Structure 1
């Protein structure tokens, strides 16, 4: 017994000595380094430009978030300042002399209390080790790793993105990269690390060349956030299709066999009342968003006003000041996960704004909202307002006194709405593209500016909404209303959805609105009005007046006449999105996001009425008329080739006349867009199917008979001879090309071929017109060779979205 006691004492002393030596080893190793204590302590060695991370939480699960605090500045490349990367559920694991950072698989789970059952799921599906580190020192409770190589790695997949966009071949160059200590900090619940990373490459593309001083060297900043998991007081809220929220989902293998394995829940911020029983109460912790201090006035105030609209929705469900907007404190890092941020981002060209979030993948809890607003959007809206109203004088000397306050007001009104829209995404809310059909019911739609005609002039009053919408209030109630217990929550959410349906709220999100072949006549981007046809007719009148007034009064003194072309584009194409809405009536079907039990009798789908479809076809064909497509001569005569120092851009039209403005090709582009919508394979297939399902709906013969009659068979407009000829050739070309769409049904292809046979006979009978004879020969050659030999490719439109 004495010998055993001595041995135990000796071993105890030995382990204690080793632990002390190891602790001294970490202290000695980091003695000359800068130390920051926090969720994970880190040390910086300035002599070697290395950062060391102290891992005292082996096997502890946490969140890892990557981001891009300083980007490339090109909308086409899509690597913007402030862009969030993936949110990963991870943990550090030790394997001998190294530590691995493992990303856990959150797509497949077991909610069972049976540990063996949980383990069986973990063992069935792969995890992903995203980084490996050698241990450089250790203590009894922690290990120290060299984190530098991982911090300087391409965690944001910049190389892959540049390659995918054909912008060159690049890889991270550590010799031209380094730890950015200014933005590397540690806090009790999060550690933030940042680096400047340079990507060296070859064969740079045009977008890289446009935005970098040396296109062979692209230097950006990459940021890592290591975040403590939230506590378990947050409860996920279930997703239903009509909730208005985005959906998060995982497969639960432990649910009873009769239940669905798919578990869906919504993303949202944590929000509780200080006094849950009170009708109105402040929040335990309000949702606070911080504005980028670099935003200039008056844009800063406009963005704040728009974001604060959401407080109206929270007030509706009994919260006082639950949603707040402030300016980011001096010295605060916008990438720090403790701050919800509205960031003002510059690019070489106008582009999309977006709202992203750091979300706990286990529960859907939003940890951080991050809004990216493109700074050039407000300038585009101002340009549209100027183009619509042409407010300047014929006398250049008088321009200095021109009042453009209404045009600026319209641009700022748009940026308010945009701020509210993108913040809405970071609250977990999805698009509702049907909301514009019932009184601007949601800021989560894409709004087209509403222009009215007063006394023969275009008015910009009421161009954009000035408050949160009724749909938005409902969605916030679904996501953020506090209930006393689970049963009350289930009943309350069911009641909210039922009341929203009873009020006639419509809801269509991206999958049912964005595709050009979408079927639901509700839900469009950039449209307006309860009737898409009536709104197209109204916009046509607005467009007509704007074009009549367009000219030297549209530009300021000192602006080149050649710059009129880019100002003209959004005015000439003012109808483009409303045409998209009208097209969806043709072969369209009404439907909702309906679940069993939403109505006493299931509604399902309903084919758009036959008379409405025929009216829609006529409205679409009206956009092919030469009178509609023609650009007034006074405009054509004003637009010169590009002045020396100016250059063509993506905002310019593309033409066939060299350096001069090509008005006929501009018309071709517009007509080509209308035809591309009308002749979509999926739409034509639905038209053919519906002609048998619903009595009186147009069939393929009806559609093409009207198309050919109003264009090719209508002859040449004597006032616009060349333009009407161009459109006729375009119609034939696009019709034949429509036959080669992969998804076109074979019987529909046959029906279109039959209509072309009829057209060919008409062309032969009217071959005194040389254009008719030429088109007849083209069809004969097509049938003889079995392929369409036309070298005619429609000129593309200048970009419209985003407006």
Structure 2
């Protein structure tokens, strides 16, 4: 995942993959600085030569050999000394002021609310600096620099600050021979360097603090290439706050539930210190290919238009035989499989990693990736900074995979990567999992949103397949689990070799071709495994292809070639230009997280989405609606075995709604949509092109018919009366007894209205005529608002009764209209407000006639009257505000 970040819901997901990334904001850096011992007075007399063992001057530091008496010494990058619960770090004079790589990962955590074990944390380029009797661990500012020895280097150093990570006092006199000094690792590392308190506060809104008295070292490892120390940190609060006398309108999150006592928890941090490699040759990033990057601002010259340069994040791969077209690397990228990976899945995980060797071989490297299994007698911790790893983890509410990495900030060289794999991906293939999921937050600016939606995807696929008769404890479910596991590993490995998400890749094939298994086994279902792909489920009775990606896509090969191909001296620029010249080919198009949007803010291009499939997304949305209706129909006609819980129906019913709620806003994305392209000068197509009016009308018809129509959501009353919840789980939410179908429908419809009735869409619709030669061929504001209003208030025209679901929809549309007219204009275009005001007047006339019709119920009449009052008040207030 990078991201990548890098996102089954029955296998409980979410990536990032991506990329798909880290689990808390590493924003809080705290330093604990023990007071330095007092210095001896300047006039203190020196011991006489006759004194065999002169008494120490008051406040003088003890000799190192006295402090380390009976301590176990371990040489390494930094020499460590350990005695009982104390660990000391010995620092040579040559190591002071010399940068090195420092990382902090989380082998163990509390297992809920985004705080899980086996997760990669952050890394810095740091150095030890001695200030008086204090040694500071300083994170160097690597983002801004200038050529050493220039005036620019001087003013850059004065303009930007380094950061203090932690500090500790010198506890011994210098070694008489080596002049080395000694600091307590306890004082240096028993502080919240990772900023975990911020993560705890974010999750629980409680003031947890680090309890240093009950914090300890659980292990140390020392070699010439790495000094590693694992800290078992205790976080605690003195008490739990009493609940408020009056309920808050914004409910607070509950205290931790996965610990025996919510006031106390242990978290492990693994700190790695290792020498920096010689700087690797950098490769400039290009916006047409999706790589993670490191950014550096060179302020040596003011002649550049932009001082910031972006370098690819990538591993150091060098050919053993530079003259060979394909050569093994001098040092391959090694992924260690953790001991905790279940035995039956290790082969599948290995397959997922080694699948990438196909792309690297095309780029000139044979066996670039190697998989090794950590054995029980291996004593290294693969959460250190020298072992890229794949680890299993779990939690009370967990369901995602993530593929972050750590890199040399000077060059972008990836130095470590640790893929975290939730056991929910395989467990959920056979068991119901309905826990709420914590959404992981990725590093490198990439959100790993695959977790929740991918979990929903798996639930949906299994619900539908089970309804079709598939045994979830049988071999077909086992094969599906392994197939999805392999696909997930491929996605996360893609993040750890530097690749970002590509959310345009799913549009490569039409829906017929994605069910051609012979084709997809070779070329993939999508152009890239770095997309978030839904389960490829065919309609009942039609040919079923592969459910998930089983291999890499054409984009993956191309991206690896851009990032890793080596060129003869002096030919790299020309070689990369030849690779990039292919970027306009449809199968190599790239768009990523910020293009698809985050959360409720979706992007502008309807072809760039998470969890869609096929060259015509509208056709895919129609298919998903068809599949959901098939699921609902099967559920409504299902005969449960005597003694089975009705909760079985509820879970599958809600699973179908989760799918509909996901695709509804994506269909609405066509309205006011704009096709975007990552092109440069010399191409014939524009960077921005409005979606064709015909396609927008097709989307508008789909929305009004399938999502906003009178017949859109109808279910048997006897079925709705059996939608039960798990009463054993209800203790945490006593009000959650019945399933509100009206709320589920409203959630789907609000997703559409939120997008279509937004100022950004209104502005694009208002300006679309400026971007085409014939404005008559565009879809304008009036077309959209008229069509929606006619569909939403259709009963008022025909004199029909309104249902609760329809009244809720009408209120939502009315609220959005009145808000625009009453509130300050803000970002809304004047044309949108004018059209809405005119539509409000038309609706007033329509409702006046509807109220006068005989035969409608009191509820419908009252609803129309209430809407009429709101409209009249709105129009009056709007006119008063507009008056001079």
How far does residue 203 in structure 1 lie from its aligned partner after superposition? 3.9
Q: Is 1:134 matched up with 2:169?
A: yes
Tell me which residue corresponds to 2:249: none
Q: Which residue of the other structure, out of 310, 316, 327, is the alignment partner of 1:264?
A: 310
Secondary structure of 1:242's counterpart equals: coil
Distance 1:735 1:27 in 2: 80
- When residues 565 and 626 of structure 1 are mapped into structure 2, their CA distance, relative to the original with a 3 A threshold, is farther
- Matches of residues 247-258 of structure 1 in structure 2 within 5 Å? 247-255=293-301, 257-258=303-304
Q: Is 1:754 matched up with 2:838?
A: yes
166-175 or 250-259: which moved more? 250-259
Distance 1:554 1:191 in 2: 62
- When residues 188 and 635 of structure 1 are mapped into structure 2, their CA distance, relative to the original with a 3 A threshold, is farther
CA contact (8 A) 1:73 1:81 kept: yes
Secondary structure of 1:121's counterpart equals: helix
- When residues 41 and 338 of structure 1 are mapped into structure 2, their CA distance, relative to the original with a 3 A threshold, is same
Distance 1:543 1:555 in 2: 20
Q: Is 1:190 matched up with 2:190?
A: no
Tell me which residue corresponds to 1:664: 742
Tell me which residue corresponds to 2:485: 415
- When residues 196 and 717 of structure 1 are mapped into structure 2, their CA distance, relative to the original with a 3 A threshold, is farther
CA contact (8 A) 2:79 2:89 kept: yes
Tell me which residue corresponds to 1:618: 701
- Matches of residues 792-803 of structure 1 in structure 2 within 5 Å? none
RMSD between superposed Cα atoms in Å: 3.1
CA contact (8 A) 1:349 1:376 kept: no
Secondary structure of 2:323's counterpart equals: coil
Secondary structure of 1:301's counterpart equals: helix
- When residues 377 and 678 of structure 1 are mapped into structure 2, their CA distance, relative to the original with a 3 A threshold, is farther
- When residues 545 and 535 of structure 1 are mapped into structure 2, their CA distance, relative to the original with a 3 A threshold, is same
CA contact (8 A) 1:390 1:551 kept: no
- Deviations 1:293-322 (Å, cap 9, x if unpaired)? 222254433333222221111121232211
Secondary structure of 2:403's counterpart equals: strand
Distance 2:755 2:330 in 1: 51
- Deviations 1:631-679 (Å, cap 9, x if unpaired)? 3446424323x354243899xxx9xx96222222222222222222322
- When residues 498 and 72 of structure 1 are mapped into structure 2, their CA distance, relative to the original with a 3 A threshold, is same
Q: Which residue of the other structure, out of 92, 99, 118, is the alignment partner of 2:135?
A: 99
Q: Which residue of the other structure, out of 183, 205, 210, is the alignment partner of 1:172?
A: 210
- Deviations 1:470-495 (Å, cap 9, x if unpaired)? 1011111111111122x311111111
- When residues 589 and 24 of structure 1 are mapped into structure 2, their CA distance, relative to the original with a 3 A threshold, is same
Tell me which residue corresponds to 2:805: 723
How far does residue 414 in structure 1 lie from its aligned partner after superposition? 2.3
- Matches of residues 50-129 of structure 1 in structure 2 within 5 Å? 50-56=86-92, 57-74=95-112, 76=113, 78-110=114-146, 112=147, 114=149, 117-129=152-164
Distance 1:503 1:703 in 2: 30
CA contact (8 A) 2:555 2:587 kept: no
Distance 2:708 2:123 in 1: 48
CA contact (8 A) 1:33 1:44 kept: yes
Q: Which residue of the other structure, out of 350, 363, 372, is the alignment partner of 1:304?
A: 350
Distance 2:638 2:347 in 1: 30
CA contact (8 A) 2:61 2:171 kept: no
Distance 1:590 1:301 in 2: 42
- When residues 376 and 750 of structure 1 are mapped into structure 2, their CA distance, relative to the original with a 3 A threshold, is farther
- When residues 718 and 752 of structure 1 are mapped into structure 2, their CA distance, relative to the original with a 3 A threshold, is closer
Please give the TM-score of this superposition, normalised by the length of structure 1. 0.86
Please give the TM-score of this superposition, normalised by the length of structure 2. 0.79
Q: Is 1:701 matched up with 2:782?
A: yes
Tell me which residue corresponds to 1:10: none
- When residues 24 and 203 of structure 1 are mapped into structure 2, their CA distance, relative to the original with a 3 A threshold, is closer
Distance 1:556 1:377 in 2: 28
The answer to which structure, 1 or 2, has the higher relative contact order (CA under 8 A, 6+ apart) is: 2
How far does residue 247 in structure 1 lie from its aligned partner after superposition? 2.3
CA contact (8 A) 2:337 2:389 kept: yes
Secondary structure of 1:28's counterpart equals: helix
Distance 1:564 1:742 in 2: 46
- Matches of residues 676-687 of structure 1 in structure 2 within 5 Å? 676-687=754-765
Secondary structure of 1:418's counterpart equals: helix
CA contact (8 A) 2:461 2:537 kept: no
CA contact (8 A) 1:392 1:553 kept: no
357-366 or 767-776: which moved more? 767-776
Q: How many residue pairs align between the two structures?
A: 746
Secondary structure of 1:744's counterpart equals: coil
- When residues 377 and 691 of structure 1 are mapped into structure 2, their CA distance, relative to the original with a 3 A threshold, is farther
Q: Is 1:511 matched up with 2:594?
A: yes
CA contact (8 A) 2:169 2:183 kept: yes
546-555 or 356-365: which moved more? 546-555
- When residues 509 and 25 of structure 1 are mapped into structure 2, their CA distance, relative to the original with a 3 A threshold, is same
Q: Is 1:38 matched up with 2:76?
A: yes
Tell me which residue corresponds to 2:389: 341
How far does residue 279 in structure 1 lie from its aligned partner after superposition? 2.1
Structure 1 gap segments, 5+ residues each: 1-12, 394-398, 788-803
Tell me which residue corresponds to 1:443: 529
31-40 or 122-131: which moved more? 122-131
Q: Which residue of the other structure, out of 213, 216, 229, is the alignment partner of 2:260?
A: 213
Structure 2 gap segments, 5+ residues each: 1-48, 242-251, 429-454, 510-525, 880-884
CA contact (8 A) 1:200 1:216 kept: yes
- When residues 719 and 757 of structure 1 are mapped into structure 2, their CA distance, relative to the original with a 3 A threshold, is closer
CA contact (8 A) 1:308 1:324 kept: yes
